[in-house]
Structure 1
Amino acid sequence: MRLYLLKVPLYILLLVVLCPMILYAAPDKDPPPKNSGPPPMLVEVSQITRGIVEPMVKLVGSISYTRVSRVAAEVAGIVKTIHFTAGSRVKVGQPLVTLRSDLLEARLAGVRANYRQSLLELERADKDLQRIKALYADKSISESLYDENYYRVLAQKKRVISLKAILDYQKLQIQKTQINAPFSGLIQAKLTEQGEWVDIGGQVAVVADDKDIEVEVDVPGHLLNFLYPGRQISVRSGDKDYTSLFVHFIPQGDIATRTFTVKLKLEQGKNLIAGMQALVSLPSGSKLNSLLVPRDAVIRQFGKPIVFLAVDGRAKMVTVQILGYKGLLVAIEAPEIDDFLQVITKGNERLHDGQAIRF
């Protein structure tokens, strides 16, 4: 029993002595890794350059047709037949509306009968004149009787001419009961119905030439100084870009807005419809030497145009002012930007200021 009590402290002593040695001999563990953040984002960059560019401003205009005709009747009458529907396509000379012509045809029949009768009377008077001329040559009749028959023939000839003119007029009246399209195009509106009375000059349809397209845009007066006939103007409508030519402006301004209507002729306006919105890029100042970056480099954040510069492996966000466009380049201005810096053109939509980048 005494021997057992002596052995217990010895075990405790050995444990106390050996524990520090075991702990000291154990291999060291690696320190926990530090949080180094996301890896640099892969982007594409481009060199900022300088060039001559013209400041531009974008204004909203409208597509319109250059030729629009409100087709009218040349004779009065009741509408007998309508040969079109609103929105349909017509060709030049195609019948649009036919008016009733029964009254005109009855009048024509009377005039035609009078004309034929006058021809018979002229033939008879001419035969009488030939007989009297022979008698007058033999001095068998007086000169006054000869003159009477001579002038009767002349008067009858004038009557025939007059009736012929009336006859032609009546025929023309009947022809005019068919109202034809003045040119090829689209029917914009139908202005009459079957059975309605149409007066002389009464409108029956609106036809527009959809092959002749123009853009109308209201511009401030100072922009007119940078426009001249034949100048090319960029227009965007229906998600497509078009080239237009400045034709002229209406020399009568809007008193309320102090703007003037400018007309631009579209060279290729297929599939455009009157009333569509047109975004017009007009020159707003003299040409200037400015910084140029690719269009892809300029994006919008917080409602403002910005670019990201590649500076020391990080993205630097800079708010810019757009001065104009030159092909696929954008003229910009910003105090923080200078020549020969690198601007990010791809991957900039997902960047934030100060983010690590690689390219």
Structure 2
Amino acid sequence: MRTTIITGSGWIILVLGLSACGSSEKTDSAPVQIIARTPVMVQTVGRGGISNSLTLFGSTLYLRRNAVTAPVAAFITKVYVSLGARVKTGQPLYELETKERRALGTLTIAGDSAIIGRVTVRASSGGLITTFDKQQTGDYVLEGTQLCTIAEDNALAVQVNVPYEYQALARPGRSCRVRLPDGRTLTAMFTTPLTTVNALAQTQSVLARITQPVPLPENLTVQVDVTSQANAHAQLLPKTAILTDEMLREFWVMRLVNDSTAVKVPVQLGERTPSTVEVRSPIFGTGDRIIIEGNYGLPDTARVQVNPRKP
């Protein structure tokens, strides 16, 4: 570039001369291909036991009741029990006197030391007097008239309302804990699922028999704790590692085959807790790395970038 300045008659003329480069230098380079990688966090498969607990609700009821009836037409002369009383097998409940006995008064049949026409009604089983139909002495009852009802202690059960998706935890033969409102805890065992499901709550009633005789009122609301224990060497993964389809029919995880590639591996699940899931199959190696964050939406084979675990 050249610059010339000319002065005269008060004028200043500035002339700029520009010289262009004789040749332009061109650089050609090949485009760089950038492979996108999804940042993920990984974890190895753990080993240990897992338990799944569920709290349900139910109400107490007695499965067997024995109706105590009058064996003969007679007058009630004595009543030995009251409503809510607990009785034992063979315990006297009522004493009856037939019309014939009342007509004889204090007379007895010669040669017979027994008092004719006087009958003692005894409890056929131990339990709780739940209905008390006849309690007044002097009442006349016909043969077969119901006097009272005994609910058997060993027939106490809890009708548990189980959500249908948790029926496996309430299979017959499985044990559970019954928590009473007063803080006591009883052991029970599931026996029989009933054939109907609540249309609104979608719960099925399952009977649980209490193993030890305990005096409890009927229709008492209780809590039932159900626990399922898996094997002590179960494969455990965080719940975030498990992916599934919209219908919750298929489950899979993303496993790293090297430091930059992850593949889809279908899995069969077992017990579950709010944070941990048991993987029953396949059996992973101790060094297999499973993606626990960043796995959502990854294709069958995905390019990933492993980030270090957060402290």
What TM-score, normalized by structure 1, do the two folds share?
0.42
Q: Which has the higher strand share?
A: 2
What TM-score, normalized by structure 2, do the two folds share?
0.48
Structure of higher RCO (CA pairs closer than 8 Å, 6+ residues apart): 1
Q: Which has more radius of gyration?
A: 1
Q: Which has the higher helix share?
A: 1
